[in-house]
Each structure stands twice: as structure tokens, then as C-alpha cells.
Amino acid sequence: MITSLITTRGRRWHAPSSAAPDGDGPDTPTSSASGSSIVDLAVYRDGRRVSSPATLDGLYEHLRRDPEAFAWIGLYRPSPDEVISLAEEFDLHELAVEDAIVAHQRPKLERYDETLFVVLSAARYLDDVEEVEFGELHVFVGPNFVISMRHSESPDLSGVRAGLENDPDLLALGPEAILYAVLDRVVDGYLPVVAGLENDIDEIETEVFSGDPEVSRRIYDLSREVIEFRRATTPLTTILLALEAGFDKYDVGEELQRSLRDVADHNTQVSERVEGFQQILRDMLTVNATLVAQKQNEEMRALTVASNSQNTEVKRISAWAAILFAPTLIGTIYGMNFSHMPELDQPWGYPLALGMMAAVCVSLYAVFKRRDGL
């Protein structure tokens, strides 16, 4: 939440109440005793590092003394005070500054006079948990400066800086060369993510046909990651097209044009793969639902067969119980031995009782047999 209001150069800058904590990534500050989030400060001229100031003020002074030089300021989760200091020095637009302080922006490119503000969404695949981690990177590019602000562990830009410093001819092309190298690093970081997602999809496909009951949840979770990944790659296509559209207007050299087109080609390949992943996961979810329905139908069919078999047994037991009930009833009555039972004194009483039992049993047996009750 915005809790303080700071005025600079007649503009109003909104700042959060506290800065985010420093990280411990490969190119994060090695010490946070002073609360600084500075990763690296460098001044370049003719493609070579000519100064490494210890503070932002020192860097500002160098740029004022040397108009031919340009600076690359690397920050990790900068504090509002640091962002505001940069805004004052390089006349950054207030809307871009507010986005940089608040963060949580979607990928985009905005041009404010001679300054470009680019928001990128980086991604990396975590093998141990088989998940995709997304990060946010803000880049300001001006005539004599590049400001990169990471709000997450990725991407690691130390390799980008080292690669450019080992190629003075490319670095001599100016701040745009740094921007294109950063874009290339972000897109290259997508490739391991694509490979990781593809491996996850192969595993899920095996689980679907093996009848794993937890596979539906995994398909859902992976689908969400793919959607989030697409939100990172799709806007980048628009960003690259916008930069390409400004080649002539801003006199971008052939080397940088080739570099950007190569980045755009890689991003297109990634975007196409991500779209393919979405379609595969949708189809996989449909197939899994069909298999689950088939399994349920088979279980219901088995239950029906078992129920019918049980019903048949119950009918047979009931039929025999009814057949045996008649002689039991007759025998029970004549077993009471009351004095006033005329059949007890008759010579034909016993044969009559047996005959009645036999007649009833045979009759019931015939009835139940005819109705498939036995």
C-alpha cells in the first residue's frame, strides 16, 4: 500500500512503506549492511568499462564529467529512495517510476521521450519440485544509461554483463545493445522451462493411461503454469515488434537489428510450443475424463452384475425358506400336543400331516421353479 508521498522536480512520487528484502542470487548484493540493493555500477566508453563507482552519486558525477560515456546500473529489489534518486538524475517519467517501485506489472514496453521502459517476465524451471518460477525485471534505457531492476531471483544478469564486456564492439553500440542482450537472456531462459514442461507432460501422459487417481490435479496445476508462462511470452512478441518498428526512426544499426530478429525468432518458437502445450493439456484432460467415465461405467457394470447375482441368491434362499416353512408350520402346530386335537386320536392323523407337508412342498417347488426362483 502507498503510504508516503515524495515530491521531486515538481512531480509526486508514491513510495511503499518499506523496501523488499535483499536477495541472495548469483548477482545480488554481497552486503546489505547499508540497505543498498546495488548489484553492479559500471560506466562504459567505446565498449569498455572505464569506471566502477561505489555509489550512485559517484556514478552521476562521472557521467556529468564524461558526456561520451554511458552507465549500466544493476539493482536487485531496489528501495523507493534508490529509485527516486535515479528518477531525479535521469528524469524518469513518474508513471514508469511508480510501476518500478510497486512492481507486479505485466510485460510491456513504453516510450517516454528518449527513455524506454520495458517490463519483462523471466522464468526458470525448478527440477527439485518440478515447478516453474516466474520473476519480474524492469529496464530503463536512455541515451546514456541502462537501469536494470530485478524483483526476483531470475534472471541472473551477471552473465549478460560479462558477455558484453568480453565483446567491446557490441557493447560500443550503446545502451540498446544492453537491452537486446537482456532480452536475449530472458528468452534463452525460457528454453529450459519448455524442456521441463515437455517432460512433465510426458510423465502425465503415462499417468493418465495408468489410471493414476491424482493425475487430474496435476494436469490442472500444469495447465495453470502453462497459462502463466504464456502470459510472459505472448506480450514479449509485441515488445519485440515495437522495437523492430523503431529501427529506422531511432537509427538502430544492422548488428542490433540482427540480434533483435534472432531474439524474436526464438521467442516465436517458444510461444508456439507453449500454445501446443495448452492444446495437449486440454486434450489430455478430456482423455482423462473419458477414461475416468469408462472406469466408472465398468465399476457400475460390475456392481450391477454382483447385485443381480446377489438378488438371484436371495430369491433362491427365499424360495427354499418358503418351501420349508409349510412343513415347519404344520409340524409346529401338531407338536403343541393339546388334549382337544381330534387328529391326535385318529389313525390317519399322522399320514395326513405328512401328506399335507409333502403336498405343500411339492406345490411351492413347482411354482418357484416355473418362475425361475430356484
- Name the stretches of the chain with pLDDT < 70: 1-36, 334, 337-346, 348, 373-374
Q: What is the reported pLDDT for 159?
A: 92
Q: What is the reported pLDDT for 87?
A: 95
Cα separation, 44 vs 145, in Å, equals 10
- What is the SS3 assignment for 76? strand
Give the residue from 276, 270, 279 showing the smallest Cα distance to 236. Answer: 270
Distance of CA 9 to the CA centre of its chain: 42
Q: What is the reported pLDDT for 270?
A: 94
CB contact burial 126-160 (16+ within 10 A = b; e otherwise): eeeebebebbbbbbbbbebbbbbbbbbbbbbbeeb
Q: What is the reported pLDDT for 168?
A: 93
Cα separation, 164 vs 253, in Å, equals 17
For 320, the grid coordinates are 427354499
Q: What is the reported pLDDT for 29?
A: 55
Cα separation, 153 vs 156, in Å, equals 7
pLDDT, tens digit, 9 for 90 and up, residues 208-222: 888 777 888 899 899
Reported as type and span, the H/E element at residue 247 is none
Q: What is the reported pLDDT for 369?
A: 76
- What is the SS3 assignment for 266? helix
Topology of the domain comprising 308-370: Methane Monooxygenase Hydroxylase; Chain G, domain 1 (1.20.58)
Q: What is the reported pLDDT for 27?
A: 54
CA distances from 290 to 22, 182, 296 (A): 49, 45, 10
Residue 353: Cβ within 10 Å count: 16
Cα separation, 193 vs 176, in Å, equals 27
205, amino acid identity: E
Q: The sheet that has 70-76: what strands, in order across it?
A: 48-51, 38-45, 70-76, 145-150, 131-142, 115-126, 108-112
Cα separation, 328 vs 338, in Å, equals 18
User: What's the CATH number of domain 2-294, 3.90.1150.10, 3.30.460.20, 3.40.50.300, 3.30.530.20?
Assistant: 3.30.460.20
Q: What is the reported pLDDT for 17?
A: 35
Q: What is the reported pLDDT for 337?
A: 65
* Domain parsing of the chain, residue ranges: 2-294, 308-370
For 228, the grid coordinates are 502463466
Q: What is the reported pLDDT for 14?
A: 39
Sign for the CA dihedral angle at 92, 234, 159, 243 comes to: negative
Half-sphere exposure of 39 (CA within 13 A, CB side): 25
Half-sphere exposure of 71 (CA within 13 A, CB side): 28
